[in-house]
Chains A and B, each alone.
Chain A
Amino acid sequence: MDRAMIRRDFPILDQKVNGKPLVYLDSAATSQKPRQVIDAVSKYYQEDNSNVHRGVHTLGSRATDAYERAREKVAAFIHAPSERQIVFTRGTTESLNMIAHGYARKRLREGDEIVITPMEHHSNLIPWQQVAQATGATLKYVPLQSDGTVSLADVEATITQNTKIVSMTHVSNVLGAVNPIREVAAIAHRHGAIMVVDGAQSVPHMAVDVRDLDCDFLAFSGHKMMGPTGIGVLYGKREVLEQMEPSHFGGEMIDTVELFQSTWKEAPWKFEGGTPIIAGAVGLAVAIDYLNEIGMDTIHRLDAQLTSYAMERLGAIADLTIYGPSGERGALVTFNVSGVHPHDVSTVLDSEGVAIRAGHHCAQPLMRWLDVAATARASFYIYNTEDDIDVLARALETTKEFFSHAIR
């Protein structure tokens, strides 16, 4: 598969920013969208738009079919046993909050434990703080190794018979560390806990099989995998979805409504109160088609190649610190340039047309663990090329030069 050919599918990349060709290296924040997805969303609004699960008319059926076919497509993509285990949400954050509030909050008691790690994104951290505060359960952290990975021995030592929930990111959005989810899930299950996985950074970049991981919940976002913003997914095993209570009440999700009580539909529909994100689901389905056409194994290989090239190029720049493991990692490199704040790095790179992320990456506890106020992050996807990395490396040299002159 040719990167240049893939790149042509992304109209947004063909532009100049500050007079320089755009080099988009912020896909871990949100990916760009191929023409196929943009066209599908536009076509849906031009030809099929209608509300779902209601009207008897033709457009209503078309919209409902498209929405439910998207659910089937997502199920097949992550190897879920049934499309009824796929709940459409607004994104990873909403998915994780639904688990925390609809499942955990009702079931946890004082003395129970929730186990997470210090590398979690705020969206897989604050909901658990909230659950712990509301229920009296204890929030525990698996410590990190010096390279930012977790060891199974530490996982084993942190999880106890009192642990009810283990929640972990599959791939860290800052360190790039890839966590051994299958093994952690096995340890969690041995202690009677359920396994929640934040797949925001893994599902877009590698083949994820929920049966192989044996996780109880998996949360991810459409917009990081070439789909539209506003659509996300919550996968759950049948039994946990049955036990989980809806967080949003209203239209679409009900079975019978009486004056003083109501009953819900079955999962997944009981979780989808209100008009769902129909066009988002349609766009996500086409994004999945696009990813499948290239193949997730090919995507993983392309991303890994580019990431190791970036590690090599950036690793050769003096006065640049790279964070996270040196071995297997997600498609991103987080770094700091000695003596230059990441905002300043980002502004200089932007003047060269290079878009990266600077800040705390919604991971303040991890920033404290790294003992930095903020970092810069370049993240990649299959539309990026080695040329992009070369431009980044040169722009970083320019940054260093600019600041050494400016500071003198």
Chain B
Amino acid sequence: MQLDDLYRQVIMDHYQHPRNQGSIGGETLSIDLKNPTCGDEITLQMKIEDGLVTDVRFTGTGCSISLASASMMTEAIKGKPVAEAMEISEEFRRMMKGEEFDADRLGDLESLAGVCRFPARIKCATLAWHALERGADKKS
């Protein structure tokens, strides 16, 4: 087990300098999600206009993996059609299961590939994505 496989530089960068952290003002789609087994929390807010994710922000508490995953997710889906965001989410899930995935589609998120070798940490990485999927369900 190599720690460097898990804690890649780009993950640490997102952990230290989370992108799109904060709240979108006014009435907006907002999802609160907790990982009850460990206490991690995330609030994900999205602005969806004409089927596009025009803004997305998050706040929360959690470990490096969960916060970095949330930060990278917001970068990956911002400005994209909701349908494409869901496809990225599917791709991410495949990566977490250790299945074949399309690296081009995931960009920076590929740095989280090592997480699938740390079974106890998969839930950390997927928390933000559960929030995203719940948000998309709410909207549709």
Contacts and interface: CB of A to CB of B under 8 A. Distances in A.
B3 A341 contact: no
Residue among A343, A344, A351, A402 with the highest chain B CB neighbour number at 10 A: A343
B71 to A, nearest CB: 14
Contacts of B7: 344, 402, 406
B64 to A, nearest CB: 5
A18 B9 CA distance: 22
A364 B40 CA distance: 11
A347 B121 contact: yes
Given A343-B63, A407-B15, A407-B16, A359 B39 contact: yes
A282 B16 CA distance: 52
Given A341-B62, A341-B63, A406-B12, A347 B38 contact: no
Interface in B46-96: 61-66
Contacts of A402: 3, 7
Nearest to B16: A407
B37 interface: yes
B6 interface: yes
Nearest to B39: A360
Contacts of B62: 341, 343, 373
Contacts of A348: 3
A70 interface: no
A358 interface: yes
Query: Interface residue tally of chain A, by bracket?
Result: 20 to 34
Interface string A340-370: 0111101110110000001110001001000
A407 B7 CA distance: 10
A403 to B, nearest CB: 8
A374 B3 contact: no
A402 B41 CA distance: 25
B33 to A, nearest CB: 14
B104 to A, nearest CB: 26
Interface in A18-48: 18-19
A19 B65 CA distance: 24
Residue among A19, A348, A407 with the highest chain B CB neighbour number at 10 A: A407
Residue among B12, B38, B39 with the highest chain A CB neighbour number at 10 A: B39
Interface SS, A side: helix
Contacts of A18: 1
B39 A367 contact: yes
B38 A360 contact: yes
A218 B82 CA distance: 55
Interface in B1-59: 1, 3, 6-7, 9, 12, 15-16, 37-41
B38 A359 contact: yes
Residue among B3, B62, B65 with the highest chain A CB neighbour number at 10 A: B3
A227 B16 CA distance: 44
Contact of B65 (A343, A358, A367): A343
Contacts of B64: 341, 344
Interface string A372-389: 011000000000000000
Contact of B38 (A350, A358, A407): A358
Contact of B3 (A346, A351, A360): A351
Given A348-B3, A351-B3, A373-B62, A343 B15 contact: no
Contacts of B1: 18-19, 350-351
B132 interface: no
A199 B39 CA distance: 25
Contact of B6 (A19, A347, A359, A364): A347
B8 to A, nearest CB: 9
A343 B64 CA distance: 8
A347 B39 contact: no
Interface in B91-139: 118, 120-121, 124
A355 to B, nearest CB: 11
Contact of A347 (B9, B12, B40, B120): B120
Contacts of B37: 359
A374 B35 CA distance: 12
Given A358-B38, A364-B39, A406 B9 contact: yes
19 contacts: A341-B63, A342-B63, A343-B38, A343-B40, A343-B62, A344-B64, A347-B121, A348-B3, A351-B1, A351-B3, A359-B38, A360-B39, A364-B39, A374-B38, A406-B7, A406-B9, A406-B12, A407-B12, A407-B15
